[in-house]
Chain A
């Protein structure tokens, strides 16, 4: 079901440009630019003097000039913007155009391309002024039809007005699903509202003179405006609701957000509408290799499943006879259990999936005890038992631990404050896809210090920290963009700068790249200390399964 819907979303996204359907760039040009495919269906081929010829995907312009066409700086190589708006005027003239994004690959010069000279530089690698291009840029012996399609594409690329950006204001949305935890939701919204208010204060306090320098010219400081999109009702209706929100409140990007059990409609909305959706608080994101717009902190419980699989099946130690997994039939453990079962089957280990009926909406959990007891019945010491359960269920576990190989999900179970009964504590292993508390302590001074200054009580530290971090990352990325408000470029800049950050709250490090949409890749497996509040007992080093 989910994958079919996703596939449709992918197909739609592949065909859509940044803007309205009427102005959609020619698919031929897009195919050539993004996928290295010629209108005839043949593969694009690029050659270089020193060999290293490229074809197809590898030859596609998008690899270097990026999806926005605004170029990049890679290592010591400047990759210039190649949207027509840049190339068809003298770059000196571009300097004076405040509507034109200022990008790192920019170099001012006194001449402009025409269709003929542009075709010529793409074919020969020599600029009209006789200057040969850097060896990185391949030469493309394109036929006239392909060239026309390509140049047509470059003329449309990144030309549409960007929604959510006005002369004075940058509009952002955050998305809250109806199943979000109320405490976490409130905590997240408070961080966002305070951060946005602070940004406005900073802007108000700034009286930056418009100096006649290139960098400053482009810089018009805009205040940020937050729109809170609260979803209601069934997940099937969310995408529609979001599209309605977007129509009435156009935004540049979606920042943070919070969900609990279901996030895929939000993911599809972002991808379908070409909106960057940055770093929401969700533990089950959508993994879709070709999607561009949604960016997550990590793969969440799917990462936890891989951490467990690596320990259970990849080591040379004794493997379990059987994998028994317990999860609520309406919670994110379903997907995690499925992912882990696939790994188990690949390792020829029998799997038993024990779904416990949906938990009652009240987080009471008196009847949970009996249901869980039934689910665990018959597990013995040759089995591995994995519990994809929330805190209330963990607290309701009874009796003795049936095996020495018990795993719980840290994300679902409350991390170091997982309320396991005493008899279960010592025997249980927990996945912990964050840096260990003592290792992140110094780093945490930044968010915690800010909360203190802002007089924000710490009610949901993880969510508050991740939300604050998302805001800081957004703010930095926008700074790096020199106010070039282009959605694709926002993500491209984030890919470039994220791994350079050294202070990342709960995470030891973050990083993205073209095609990478999960910023943190690893985690620990830990034991809970005998006494709550003591140090977690890490079982081995941080690992990236």
Chain B
């Protein structure tokens, strides 16, 4: 049921003006929508790979250790990056992303100079201390950081990665990999297996790939 914020606003406003439930106006499309999505759903792990140029926005994020960091500086420190979006009270989809990130982390080992980043799409709820708890739960090591910040900063990050769907409840599974600053991002939509992420990671960080563009 993805829905642009503006249509929600309009539905809400009209409904409020009429004193009706927004659902009254939105109802007709609900079930048809679902049906369509049902068929669009990828079955067994059909993750889709694309590449894209994304510009990290000029915003500050707050890391789980409470430190305010500039997003660009944080992700352009030279290390390869694996990046994803989560929220700590997300029960269905995010645990998969985080479990996969953990396997990625564990398979590469603690000495691999990689930066794993999980960015909250529910930043007001996800305070640094809640992020620390979440990071512990998923076994995040020294290379894996979680980020929150102002709502606008989180939205800017999601928009920059074309992952903004208007509301946290509409999010979808997607992961991003980049070999180095200036290189394109590999975007993997759907549930990627950790091995798939590792293969992707090896390919883009191979010396030959890094030398070319």
Task: Please indicate the chain A residues that have their CB under 8 angstroms from the CB of B170 in the complex.
Answer: 75
- Decide if A73 is an interface residue (CB 8 Å cutoff): yes
Instruction: Give chain B nearest CB distance to A314 CB in angstroms.
Output: 8
Contact of B165 (CB < 8 Å), options: A75, A475, A515, A545:
A75
Q: Report yes or no: A496 in contact with B42, Cβ–Cβ below 8 A.
A: no
Q: How far is the CA of A512 from the CA of B45 in the complex (A)?
A: 29
Residues A52 and B191 in contact in the complex (CB < 8 Å), given A73-B34, A106-B34: yes
Q: Report yes or no: B92 in contact with A476, Cβ–Cβ below 8 A.
A: no
Chain B proximity mask over A36-67: 1 for CB below 8 Å, otherwise 0: 00000000000011111110001000111000
Q: Interface segment, B22-30, B49-57, B203-211?
A: B22-30
Task: Please indicate the chain B residues that have their CB under 8 angstroms from the CB of A104 in the complex.
Answer: 1, 30-31, 34
- Decide if A99 is an interface residue (CB 8 Å cutoff): no
Q: Report yes or no: B19 in contact with A202, Cβ–Cβ below 8 A.
A: yes
- Decide if B142 is an interface residue (CB 8 Å cutoff): no
Task: Please indicate the chain A residues that have their CB under 8 angstroms from the CB of B95 in the complex.
Answer: 54, 58, 63
Instruction: Give chain A nearest CB distance to B33 CB in angstroms.
Output: 8
Q: Report yes or no: B125 in contact with A502, Cβ–Cβ below 8 A.
A: no
Q: Report yes or no: B8 in contact with A501, Cβ–Cβ below 8 A.
A: yes
What residue in chain B is nearest A314 (Cβ atoms)? B66
Contact of A107 (CB < 8 Å), options: B12, B13, B35, B169:
B35
Instruction: Give chain A nearest CB distance to B166 CB in angstroms.
Output: 7
Residues A73 and B21 in contact in the complex (CB < 8 Å), given A50-B45, A50-B192, A500-B167: no
Q: How far is the CA of A72 from the CA of B37 in the complex (A)?
A: 13
Q: Report yes or no: A500 in contact with B166, Cβ–Cβ below 8 A.
A: yes
What residue in chain B is nearest A472 (Cβ atoms)? B16
- Decide if A361 is an interface residue (CB 8 Å cutoff): no
Instruction: Give chain A nearest CB distance to B156 CB in angstroms.
Output: 15
Residues A496 and B124 in contact in the complex (CB < 8 Å), given A134-B41, A135-B45: no
- Decide if A421 is an interface residue (CB 8 Å cutoff): no
- Decide if A541 is an interface residue (CB 8 Å cutoff): yes
Task: Please indicate the chain B residues that have their CB under 8 angstroms from the CB of A509 in the complex.
Answer: 124, 151
Q: Interface segment, A76-84, A378-386, A432-440?
A: A76-84
Q: Interface segment, A236-244, A410-418, A478-486?
A: A478-486
- Decide if B2 is an interface residue (CB 8 Å cutoff): yes
What residue in chain A is nearest B196 (Cβ atoms)? A50
Task: Please indicate the chain B residues that have their CB under 8 angstroms from the CB of A522 in the complex.
Answer: 124
Task: Please indicate the chain A residues that have their CB under 8 angstroms from the CB of B100 in the complex.
Answer: 50-52
Residues A77 and B19 in contact in the complex (CB < 8 Å), given A104-B30, A479-B24, A502-B9: no
Q: Report yes or no: A521 in contact with B16, Cβ–Cβ below 8 A.
A: no
Q: How far is the CA of A386 from the CA of B97 in the complex (A)?
A: 44
- Decide if A446 is an interface residue (CB 8 Å cutoff): yes
Q: Report yes or no: B168 in contact with A78, Cβ–Cβ below 8 A.
A: no
Q: How far is the CA of A544 from the CA of B62 in the complex (A)?
A: 12
Task: Please indicate the chain A residues that have their CB under 8 angstroms from the CB of B90 in the complex.
Answer: 513
Task: Please indicate the chain B residues that have their CB under 8 angstroms from the CB of A198 in the complex.
Answer: 19
Task: Please indicate the chain B residues that have their CB under 8 angstroms from the CB of A477 in the complex.
Answer: 21, 23
Chain A proximity mask over B1-18: 1 for CB below 8 Å, otherwise 0: 111010011001101110
Q: Report yes or no: B91 in contact with A446, Cβ–Cβ below 8 A.
A: no
> Restricting to A468-521, which residues have a CB under 8 Å from any CB of B?
472, 475-482, 495-497, 499-503, 509, 511, 513-516, 521
- Decide if A5 is an interface residue (CB 8 Å cutoff): no
What residue in chain A is nearest B23 (Cβ atoms)? A479
Q: Report yes or no: A545 in contact with B21, Cβ–Cβ below 8 A.
A: no
Q: Report yes or no: A500 in contact with B169, Cβ–Cβ below 8 A.
A: yes
Instruction: Give chain B nearest CB distance to A15 CB in angstroms.
Output: 22
Task: Please indicate the chain B residues that have their CB under 8 angstroms from the CB of A515 in the complex.
Answer: 89
Q: Report yes or no: B191 in contact with A136, Cβ–Cβ below 8 A.
A: yes
Q: Report yes or no: B30 in contact with A500, Cβ–Cβ below 8 A.
A: no
Q: Report yes or no: A476 in contact with B23, Cβ–Cβ below 8 A.
A: yes
- Decide if A214 is an interface residue (CB 8 Å cutoff): yes
Task: Please indicate the chain A residues that have their CB under 8 angstroms from the CB of B64 in the complex.
Answer: none
Q: Report yes or no: A135 in contact with B44, Cβ–Cβ below 8 A.
A: yes
Q: How far is the CA of A511 from the CA of B92 in the complex (A)?
A: 17
Q: Report yes or no: B92 in contact with A51, Cβ–Cβ below 8 A.
A: no
Q: Report yes or no: B27 in contact with A482, Cβ–Cβ below 8 A.
A: yes
Q: How far is the CA of A499 from the CA of B165 in the complex (A)?
A: 12
Task: Please indicate the chain A residues that have their CB under 8 angstroms from the CB of B13 in the complex.
Answer: 446, 503
Contact of A513 (CB < 8 Å), options: B17, B43, B89, B192:
B89
Contact of B93 (CB < 8 Å), options: A75, A450, A472, A496:
A75
Q: Report yes or no: A136 in contact with B21, Cβ–Cβ below 8 A.
A: no
Given contacts A76-B41, A107-B35, 20 further A-B contacts (CB under 8 A): A50-B191, A73-B37, A75-B93, A75-B171, A76-B172, A77-B172, A106-B34, A134-B42, A135-B44, A136-B191, A479-B27, A482-B30, A500-B5, A502-B9, A509-B151, A513-B169, A514-B89, A514-B91, A541-B150, A545-B127
A residues neighboring B (CB under 8 Å): 48-54, 58, 62-64, 72-79, 102, 104-107, 132-136, 198-199, 202, 214-215, 219, 314, 446, 450, 472, 475-482, 495-497, 499-503, 509, 511, 513-516, 521-522, 541, 544-545
27 contacts between A and B (CB under 8 A): A49-B193, A50-B44, A50-B47, A50-B100, A51-B195, A52-B96, A52-B194, A74-B93, A74-B171, A75-B93, A75-B169, A78-B34, A78-B41, A102-B31, A104-B30, A134-B43, A198-B19, A215-B27, A446-B16, A476-B22, A500-B5, A502-B5, A502-B8, A509-B124, A511-B124, A515-B89, A544-B127
B residues neighboring A (CB under 8 Å): 1-3, 5, 8-9, 12-13, 15-17, 19-24, 26-28, 30-31, 34-35, 37-38, 40-47, 66, 87, 89-93, 95-96, 99-100, 103, 122-125, 127, 150-151, 165-173, 190-196
Which 4 residue pairs spanning A and B have beta carbons closest together? A479-B23, A479-B21, A50-B193, A63-B91
